[in-house]
Amino acid sequence: MSATAATPSAAIPGLGRRIGSLRKERRWALITAYISLVIAAIVMLAPPLYMLLTSLKTSAEISNPVGTPWIVRHPTLENYWALISDPMFRGFFFNSLKVTVCVVVLTMVISVLAAFSLARMKFFGSQVLATGVFLTYLVPDTLLFIPLYQIVGAVGLLNSTWGLVLVYPTLTVPFCTWIMIGYFASIPKELDEAALIDGANWMQMLTKIFIPVALPGIIAATIFAFTVSWAAFVYPTAFITRPDEMPLTIGVVSQLIRGDTFAWGQLMAGALLAALPPVVVYAFLMDYYIAGLTAGATKG
């Protein structure tokens, strides 16, 4: 650059070359981008793909590998069939479903009410509470599971899915409240003034204005609560030892691994089936999912 600027006579051919090189640079940047993305996609998708391949193999094919393990020679659905017809696995699924639905409903009621109150109807200490919500979000479950183990034990809910319903809100409520505060705070004040003039009370204002306007935020928060309670692992591992009360995550990890001869095909099929609901939700609601993910920092 300094070379072309040094002598005016050299500037014009230099300029021509620079424009050409700019286009070339752009093309190279694009090629680099695609190469990086393809490599990244291969790395990111290889483990789930290999799980899928394994789940389609028979035990005989898994234990006597001939050639590459990355292709399926005799695809079969027997692993999936064995799981679906297994009452224990169906039990895991229903436990997960029960806990997740309860937790999502509970979380959304708690956090929408609280976020509305914190974003709009300040009260003594509400600012401190908003900061407190954020700090609670930063407290990891692995710091709390031992005292909670004692507390849940004292309430008599160890080995019960209801114990999970009790403690999962620690995972979901702080973040959901936090992003709902952000969404509610971005609604213009004129809207609630108009509602107040029309004689709406606070409850009507929340249900008739805030919830409809902030619907994308509510969907994002619901997806978050769903994903987190479906994937929760620390609490069920600590609190549940009876197979009939286990949700999917710990059920697949602890019950499908039996003895030394692993039923790998079945294990992978189980893991994939267990991972399916969040993936399906994600596939259909990706934009909300990403909005929720980034809301914590970009809306803050």
Footprint of another protein on 16-45 (CB under 8 A): 25, 29-30, 32-34, 36-37, 40-41, 43-45
User: Reduced to 3 DSSP states, what percent helix, strand and coil does the chain have, rounded to the nearest 5?
Assistant: 80, 0, 20
Among 59, 160, 202, 243, binds another protein (CB under 8 A): 202
Q: Does 246 bind another protein (CB under 8 A)?
A: no
Indicate the DSSP class of residue 246. Answer: -
Instruction: Tell me phi and psi for residue 147, to 5 degrees.
Output: -60, -35
| Residue window 163-182: x/- pattern of binding to another protein, with contact defined by CB under 8 A | ---xx-xx--xx--x-----
Q: 94: helix, coil or strand? A: helix
Q: Does 234 bind another protein (CB under 8 A)?
A: yes
Closest CA to 228 of 175, 300, 284: 175
Shortest distance in whole angstroms from residue 142 CB to another protein: 4
Shortest distance in whole angstroms from residue 255 CB to another protein: 12
Nearest-angstrom CA–CA distance, 20 and 111:
56
Residues between 116 and 135 that touch another protein (CB under 8 A): 116-118, 120-124, 126, 129, 131-135
Strands (E) in 121-274, as ranges, are none
Q: Does 290 bind another protein (CB under 8 A)?
A: yes
Q: Does 156 bind another protein (CB under 8 A)?
A: no
Among 3, 60, 197, 297, binds another protein (CB under 8 A): 297
Q: Does 186 bind another protein (CB under 8 A)?
A: no
Q: Is 199 left (phi over 0), alpha (psi -120 to 50) or beta?
A: left
Q: Does 237 bind another protein (CB under 8 A)?
A: yes
**Using CB under 8 A, which of the segments 9-17, 83-91, 213-221, 224-232 binds another protein?**
224-232
Calculate the dihedral angle through the C-alpha atoms of 270, 173, 214, 194, rounding to the nearest 10 degrees: 160
Among 14, 78, 149, 157, binds another protein (CB under 8 A): 149
Q: Which CB, 104 or 271, lies closer to another protein?
A: 271
Q: Does 66 bind another protein (CB under 8 A)?
A: no
Among 56, 103, 218, 250, binds another protein (CB under 8 A): 250
Q: How far is CA 204 from CA 200, 237, 240, in A?
A: 6, 42, 41
Nearest-angstrom CA–CA distance, 225 and 291:
14
